[in-house]
Amino acid sequence: MVAVARELFADRGLDVPMAAIARQARVGVATLYRRFPSKEALVTEVFADQFEACVSVVDDALADPDPWRGFRTAVERVCSMQAADRGFSAAFVAAFPDALDVERERHRAIEGFAELVRRAKATGGLRADFAQDDLALLLMANGGVITGPTETALAASRRLVAYLLSAFRAEQAEPLPPPAPLDLRAVVSR
């Protein structure tokens, strides 16, 4: 059931009905609900490894002695994860009040990314006007190009991220309009 849900979420996002998951897994809906009393419980199980991997990406980036390279690598890897699995970015921003481990991992990733931004700005690699909300903007843009087969989505994502990272460099910075007040959860869950 978990493998089927993982495949459906990766392909179609989190809007897949529990009945469709049960049907594809060749089990009854009641069986699915006995194992996972809510869709939240299923989503939490399906994406546990990805939550851990996302935190690992940020931790690895924080360990890099070059703050700009750490920031760049984190952005590239998170966007690649988003392109490879359409459901993960929605799961990352979904509210899981009963899943304390997921909430803790998400908080660690977001706080770690904020530290990456701070460090990259402090060393002059990242433009000074990059705002934390720009991460939501980046994920929105990346989410817009990841249609089609996975290989095409990954290629489009890599190209877009390369363009955006070039624009994020401090030495190429021209003044920008003020950042959009974007809530990461609201943006990715659309």
Tell me the whole-structure pTM to 2 decimals: 0.79
**CATH classification (class only), 2-45:** mainly alpha
pLDDT in tens, 8-62: 988 787 889 999 999 999 999 999 999 999 888 888 888 888 888 888 999 999 9
Domain spanning 48-188, CATH architecture: Orthogonal Bundle (1.10)
Cα–Cα distance between 131 and 186 in angstroms, integer? 17
Amino acid letter, residue 6: R
Residue limits of CATH 1.10.357 in the chain:
48-188
Average pLDDT over residues 174-181: 79
Question: Is the pLDDT higher at 88 or at 98?
Answer: 88
Residue for token digits 């921003």?
93
Amino acid identity of 72?
A: R
90 token code pair = 């929605």
Cα separation of 180 and 143, whole Å? 17
Q: How does pLDDT run across 95-148, given as a tens digit for each residue?
A: 665 666 777 887 888 899 999 999 999 999 999 999 988 888 888 888 888 877
Give ranges for CATH 1.10.10 in the chain.
2-45
